[in-house]
């Protein structure tokens, strides 16, 4: 700051803090003038293509410059006929902004880049929409899994939302990342502050709509901390590479994280390398409450369809419900409920169908401790093996309690049985209707 060094200013600079403030102010002013004199910065509507032409075709610099344009309320990334190749990720760091990827746009990680980092980050902003119907975020999972090219990492996500509020992501395909298709949680740097102050450090009011998360490395979607999340009309599929390889993994990291008021509506979970829906909720006695899967399809799993574990005696609370959901063609359990206590959150299966699950063994349904309600559950078991429709108390001597509702079981023999054990102290009031399976059409 040359002006700060002029002798005529010395009497104002006896206080070093004032001198530093003057320098910072002049630097800021120079930056503002430079931005507003850039012909590409034309708020409120800005096009990244203008910067792309100005900077010689550097994809990251063009999009980031458009996002950073002061006052840009609407940023458009146009289809330029070839992928926008990114050497580093884009940081959507402006609140009150819409970023529109036009149909046909591909934001593509450069091969050999991304030794760390994510493709798109949304960190600590408010009121942002990322819209990309017909657009694709593409990374290179096959390269990241090659230890001769990259160090192992689970965090090269396609999209990362951390400690952000009122965020919508819609229409995008996010594929072949080196981590999650999308990761939603709180900023790791805030954890100690959360512990000491009790402040909410999760993301809030998130909508994911009509997206396709496929062929990602860890999970199609990981949720580690969120309050008010809606995921609708979205495909979460073909994840494989490193644990947990689920369609979605709801797993809060620490006590201070929340998984609260979460809804998946009309979503499909399929062909993921392990369990399709994983809820590991209570190892840290977190604040989970009310998770709903409504009208979803969970199918084609080499492991279980749904795995719920870690529900302790006092937390999490609320209801974990599957409503009008189809679960089918799973190698292992259709639904595996490894709760450590019957109290805590209630698991509810409402108007839900389990069809041809556990085809390699075990049982269609596992209940370890209890706290389960069947509200018109239908099980279709075409297996010729004589087996129970539910395994109660697997690998535990503790009684299974607080199990109730109505279950209809279709089987080749028209008979059905369970493994509830009154001698052990099991308490189950389940009305089971057994029907012989000839030609079966799943109820609506």
Summarised one tens digit per residue, pLDDT across range 185-244 is 987 666 666 666 656 679 999 999 999 999 999 999 999 999 999 999 999 999 999 999
Q: What pLDDT does 339 receive?
A: 76
Q: What pLDDT does 442 receive?
A: 52
Q: What pLDDT does 263 receive?
A: 98
Q: What pLDDT does 1 receive?
A: 41
Enumerate residues 6+ apart whose C-beta is below 8 A from 254. Answer: 191, 194, 195, 284, 286
Q: What pLDDT does 328 receive?
A: 97
Q: What pLDDT does 443 receive?
A: 47
Q: What pLDDT does 14 receive?
A: 46
Q: What is the CA radius of gyration of the chain?
A: 26
Whether this prediction's pTM lies above 0.75 is answered by yes
398 and 370 in contact (C-beta within 8 Å)?
A: no
Q: What pLDDT does 195 receive?
A: 63
**Cβ of 95: how many Cβ atoms within 10 Å?**
13
Task: Say which DSSP state 437 is in.
Answer: -
Q: What pLDDT does 196 receive?
A: 63
Q: What pLDDT does 361 receive?
A: 79
Degrees, nearest 5: CA angle 63-69-73: 90
Q: What pLDDT does 29 receive?
A: 45
Enumerate residues 6+ apart whose C-beta is below 8 A from 29. Answer: none
- DSSP letters, 240-295, are -SSTT--SEEE--SSTT--EEEEEEES-EEES-SS-SEEEE-TTTT---EEEEEES
Residue numbers of the chain with a pLDDT score lower than 70: 1-37, 188-200, 283-286, 314-315, 340, 439-444
Q: What pLDDT does 34 receive?
A: 42
Q: What pLDDT does 154 receive?
A: 94
């Amino acid at each position: 700051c040359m002006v700060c060094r002029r002798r005529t200013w010395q009497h104002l600079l006896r206080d070093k803090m004032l001198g530093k403030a003057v320098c910072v102010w002049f630097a800021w002013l120079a930056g503002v003038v430079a931005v507003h004199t850039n012909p590409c910065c034309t708020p409120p509507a800005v096009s990244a293509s203008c910067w792309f032409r100005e900077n010689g075709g550097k994809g990251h610099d063009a999009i980031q410059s458009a996002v950073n344009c002061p006052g840009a309320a609407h940023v458009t990334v146009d289809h330029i006929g070839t992928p926008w190749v990114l050497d580093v990720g884009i940081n959507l760091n402006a609140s009150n902004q819409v970023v529109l990827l036009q149909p046909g746009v591909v934001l593509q990680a450069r091969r050999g880049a991304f030794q760390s980092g994510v493709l798109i980050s949304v960190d600590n902003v408010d009121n942002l929409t990322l819209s990309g119907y017909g657009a694709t975020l593409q990374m290179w999972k096959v390269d990241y899994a090659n230890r001769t090219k990259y160090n192992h990492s689970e965090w090269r996500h396609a999209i990362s939302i951390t400690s952000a509020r009122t965020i919508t992501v819609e229409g995008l395909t996010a594929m072949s990342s080196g981590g999650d298709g999308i990761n939603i949680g709180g900023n790791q740097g805030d954890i100690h502050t959360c512990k000491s102050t009790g402040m909410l450090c999760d993301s809030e009011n998130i909508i994911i709509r009509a997206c396709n998360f496929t062929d990602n490395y860890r999970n199609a979607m990981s949720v580690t901390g969120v309050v008010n999340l809606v995921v609708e009309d979205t495909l979460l599929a073909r994840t494989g590479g490193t644990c947990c390889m689920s369609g979605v993994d709801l797993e809060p990291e620490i006590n201070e994280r929340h998984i609260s008021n979460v809804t998946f509506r009309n979503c499909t979970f399929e062909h993921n390398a392990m369990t399709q829906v994983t809820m590991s909720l209570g190892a840290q006695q977190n604040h989970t409450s009310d998770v709903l899967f409504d009208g979803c399809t969970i199918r084609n799993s080499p492991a279980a369809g749904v795995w719920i574990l870690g529900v302790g005696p006092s937390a999490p609370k609320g209801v974990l419900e599957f409503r009008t959901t189809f679960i089918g063609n799973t190698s292992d359990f259709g639904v595996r409920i490894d709760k450590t206590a019957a109290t805590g959150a209630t698991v509810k299966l409402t108007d839900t169908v389990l069809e041809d699950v556990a085809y390699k063994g075990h049982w269609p349904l596992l209940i370890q401790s209890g706290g389960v309600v069947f509200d018109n559950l239908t099980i279709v078991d075409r297996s010729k093996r004589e087996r129970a429709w539910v395994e109660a108390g697997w690998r535990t001597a503790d009684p299974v309690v607080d199990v109730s509702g109505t279950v209809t079981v279709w089987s080749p023999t028209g008979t059905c049985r369970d493994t509830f054990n009154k001698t052990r102290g099991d308490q189950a009031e389940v009305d089971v209707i057994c029907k012989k399976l000839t030609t079966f059409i799943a109820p609506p």
